[in-house]
Amino acid sequence: DAMVIQNPRYQVTQFGKPVTLSCSQTLNHNVMYWYQQKSSQAPKLLFHYYDKDFNNEADTPDNFQSRRPNTSFCFLDIRSPGLGDAAMYLCATSRDMTSYEQYFGPGTRLTVT
Amino acid sequence: AQTVTQSQPEMSVQEAETVTLSCTYDTSESDYYLFWYKQPPSRQMILVIRQEAYKQQNATENRFSVNFQKAAKSFSLKISDSQLGDAAMYFCAYRSAGGGNKLTFGTGTQLKVEL
């Protein structure tokens, strides 16, 4: 009964080699979020989609992009990963922008070598 | 900008005992929401409890309750009758009431439950 699924759970990429992380949801929620969680730090919102509308946080690096081809799927693309991009990436959903609760996936841990 | 501070990186509690996790926040807004999320090892983060700032009554969910002190900008989580399954990272989070659904998280408190 998984609701927010992230694949893969662990991803290793090389410095500068583009990488894509995947998130899917079975909740039919309108909003999907991507958070970056570095070791011992708070999860930090990168961007979110409200339906097809993309909303980037002001301090999200240009290196990070996202795609949402349909309601169920959302992708995080890192164009040229640096060592500083190694982190846990969390996907979350909410029914709409006024919903109290966000539903999180288990995360993808990205290692950059 | 809002900030959330969790000053206890780690806490321990004996099974069946009570533990309180601390959280303070800074905001200039008068209407907002506060949350505690639980992140078990290798599992997804789940919502434990939420508090609306306009409500004076502290929220309670079974063994979980909060002590919300709006003037002091304090929002602690009390876990009663602690169980082994409560072991997890706990995040305090803030959300503005108006516009958007952005969560601002604290750095988390790792809770260990001992037999």
Give the list of residues 6+ apart from residue A103 with CB closer than 8 angstroms, or none: A3, A4, A25, A27, A29, A92, A93, A94, B44
User: Any chain B CB within 8 A of the CB of A88?
Assistant: no
Distance, in Å, from the CA atom of A103 to the CA atom of B90, rounded to the nearest integer, reads 15
User: Any chain B CB within 8 A of the CB of A44?
Assistant: yes
What does the pLDDT read at residue B2?
A: 87
Distance, in Å, from the CA atom of A99 to the CA atom of A83, rounded to the nearest integer, reads 35
Q: What residue of B is the nearest CA neighbor of A94?
A: B101
Q: How far is A43 from chain B (nearest CA, A)?
A: 6
Strands A108-112 and A10-13: parallel
Contact call for A45 and B46, based on CB within 8 A: no
Q: What residue of B is the nearest CA neighbor of A6?
A: B44
Give the list of residues 6+ apart from residue A93 with CB closer than 8 angstroms, or none: A3, A4, A25, A27, A29, A31, A32, A33, A102, A103
A40, A48, A102 member nearest B107 (Cβ)? A40
B contacts of A95 (beta carbons < 8 Å) = none
pLDDT digits (tens, 9 = 90+) for B12-48: 999 999 999 999 999 999 999 999 999 998 788 999 9
Per-residue pLDDT, averaged over A8-23, amounts to 96
What does the pLDDT read at residue B7?
A: 95
Q: What residue of A is the nearest CA neighbor of B52?
A: A100
Q: How far is CA B95 from CA A15, A72, B14, B44, B90, in A?
A: 35, 25, 32, 20, 16
Q: How far is CA A42 from CA A18, A90, B37, B92, in A?
A: 25, 12, 12, 9
Question: Are A10 and A112 a contacting pair, CB within 8 Å?
Answer: no
Q: How far is A34 from chain B (nearest CA, A)?
A: 11
B63: left (phi over 0), alpha (psi -120 to 50) or beta: alpha
B42, B47, B104 member nearest A106 (Cβ)? B42
- Which amino acid makes up residue A112? V
Question: Are A74 and A49 a contacting pair, CB within 8 Å?
Answer: yes
Helix (H) and strand (E) counts for chain A? 0, 11
Is residue A100 over pLDDT 90?
no
Q: How far is A74 from chain B (nearest CA, A)?
A: 17
Is residue A28 over pLDDT 70?
yes
pLDDT digits (tens, 9 = 90+) for B55-99: 989 999 999 999 999 999 999 999 999 999 999 999 999 999 876
pLDDT digits (tens, 9 = 90+) for B93-111: 999 987 678 899 999 999 9
Distance, in Å, from the CA atom of A57 to the CA atom of B103, rounded to the nearest integer, reads 12
Of A83, A52, A47, whose CA–CA distance to A65 is shortest? Answer: A47
Q: How far is A52 from chain B (nearest CA, A)?
A: 15
pLDDT band at A94 (very low <50, low <70, confident <90, very high): very high
What does the pLDDT read at residue B99?
A: 64
Dig out the tokens for B85 from the structure: 């399954």
User: Any chain A CB within 8 A of the CB of B14?
Assistant: no
